[in-house]
Structure 1
């Protein structure tokens, strides 16, 4: 059953005088899940039919066995088993990573000879809405493109799966591991490299927080062509990779149109 069909059935089940009948509803699965999770945080006007709509959506979206129609429809692509072609990490691999990075910029589980426990790794293995969870045992924190290149070159040669991670603010589980992939966190790649005030060209690391960049440019009489709700924690690298929109889209256009180049 499609999401549109589910919403249509729920709306038709409401009383005829409901104002929701005339509303045009278009929600992505991520937004729908978010609205259900956060609905308790918001009050609704007296006589509102929104609680009824939520109840009907919940009932229609669940089968007798407890499975979700929406999850079946939109998560059918998710891998059910780990691909055997990818290598299981060993202490030897961790030793190789130590050739690229100091131990202070690595989080390694106790099972692989490190000191990190499950709680230390939880924030990197779990997405923002606590829906998607991975089991990575290693988080690496490079500070420049050269270190990223060294890590990826080794992982590619050894067939070690990796997942890049920025601010981890997405709602679809794209920034957390599916299984035990190595997490390459860009948190420490957070420097502004240069700013040409005449052309307005900014060179910065992928791990720079959007709000930090916006404040930096404001001090120079400039502004970022992007602004959105997660600006206090999202990274510009993630913004570019997803071509994020935001409230300045109509004025400045697509974010990709503002990108002059990438270093990889």
Structure 2
């Protein structure tokens, strides 16, 4: 966005990002600060292995090799490490076998066999989940969709995109960019996560404000049920009012009802011009006023409204090791993205919004990206927070939805509780390093991160169920976009009613009567 000198003087924006122009690399989505991850069964001894599930035998391995080639049946302990551990290195299973099918028919054969033999299975995409939902708890077989990574078709008139579940999100978006379209989902882990996994946990991401949830954009799915039955709705159109919309059951089901192998999704035209403003604000109240004004003045071109607190940016400074976009520190920061088809129109709207915000005292300072490199750099100061929160050793992550007026209150409450318990401090004597909050103001999604030097039961008991009780009291949801997984399976009652949970269990029993799909998770 070009701002004339007069306008700069009026609202004090410094377009001075020349000191951090280079695009920062996307780091691997895994923290290795903790050398040895204890087994989940040791950390959570109250979780017992279901003895109805069979132990894997050499005969089973032989059957899998009849379905797949030898190279796609992994049994070497070193090869299994990645698939057994979650991104945060908080949970670790002891699977003895990873299967990597290349076709839906192979997935069907595997599940049919496992269901008959009562062998538990964990479907796994890019393994970037944050609630322990995509790794084994005990010795379940891992079903990796990584080799199912083909783009099936794209209609450049309707925008309907069909692809395998194992396509990496960033690759899908790059393909669409060449066609003038955009994938209606964007995540910090886009370089590693799979589209099928995104759908399975109903990922929300950075631009839900603009493009809505996957419940609205996914048109059809190809799913393999626990008994090997293939359910194919990939042919679906934008309007189909015949019978129950069964695909919705699998969006957000976290692999507990079936394994998603194909996705048909509606993709919008790619915006031709994008602007980013990175702002400093003095209070959470100012953040709310800024959001209200952004909706009113930026309207149809507003595509993202992200907020970060001072603690999150302080850790980001230590992690990124670059000069921060703003010279002064502020209690809160906001990243605003606009995107549209007319540069002059978009520039004018953003400039007017920024000028008004500064004059009204809502925004204290800010900077605006001037080119593509600066756009990526500013976004990294937001996207990098998730990885930055792990630099002390580990992180407890809570992805929640709360009414906007109370959104940051949870961060303050958690910080106060840990201080009262004498668990948070600057020295190594304390397990907790920092409590930070950031997230998507546009859809009321808070990421509460408790950065720790080490995982301890003392910290966990201090946070849980306190965090969930606080959310319930303020009429929020304990999971906004990451799902329930293993971490939150016992706390679903803080958001869902008894009858809702009953329906969920009935559906699970109907679609997976032997319970082999992703056991010990969800409910």
TM range, normalised to the smaller chain? 0.5 to 0.7
State the match for 1:89 in structure 2: 56
CA distance in 1, matches of 2:207, 2:47: 39
Secondary structure in 2 matching 1:262: strand
Residue equivalent to 1:247? 206
Q: 1:63-114, CA deviations, whole angstroms, 9 ceiling, x for partnerless residues?
A: xxxxxxxxxxxx98x8622111000000001111111101011102xxxxxx
Q: Which residue of 1 aligns with 2:71?
A: 104
Q: Give ranges in structure 1 of 5+ residues lacking alignment.
A: 1-36, 39-74, 109-115
Give the secondary-structure state (helix, strand or coil) at the position aligned to 2:220.
coil
Partner residue, 1:156:
115
Q: CA deviation at 1:255?
A: 1.2
Following TM superposition, by how much is the alpha carbon of 1:231 offset from its aligned partner in structure 2, in angstroms?
Answer: 0.5
Q: Greater RCO between the two (CA within 8 Å, min separation 6)?
A: 2
TM-score (norm 2): 0.34
Deviation at 1:119, TM superposition (A): 2.1
Deviations 1:164-185 (A, max 9, x none): 0000001111000000000000
Write out aligned runs for 1:76-155 (5 A): 80-108=47-75, 116=76, 118-155=77-114
Secondary structure, aligned partner of 1:203: strand
* Corresponding residue SS for 1:153: helix
Which of residues 155, 164, 172 in structure 2 aligns to 1:196?
Answer: 155
Q: What SS does the aligned partner of 2:149 have? A: coil
* Structure 1 residue 189 displacement after superposition: 0.6
- Tell which structure's C-alpha radius of gyration is larger: 2
CA distance, structure 2, for counterparts of residue 82 and residue 150 of structure 1 = 25
Describe the shift of the 1:79–1:234 C-alpha distance in structure 2 as closer, same or farther (beyond 3 A). Answer: farther
CA RMSD of aligned residues (A): 2.0
- 1:262 aligns to 2:221 (yes or no): yes
Name the count of aligned residue pairs.
Answer: 185
2-side partners of 1:93 and 1:228: how far apart?
Answer: 37
What secondary structure sits across from 1:218 in the alignment?
helix
Match for 1:219 among 178, 184, 207? 178
| Residue matched to 1:61 | none
Instruction: Please identify which structure carries the higher strand content.
Output: 2
Alignment match, 1:19: none
Give a deviation string over 1:175-204, Cα, whole Å, max 9, x none: 000000000001111110100111111110
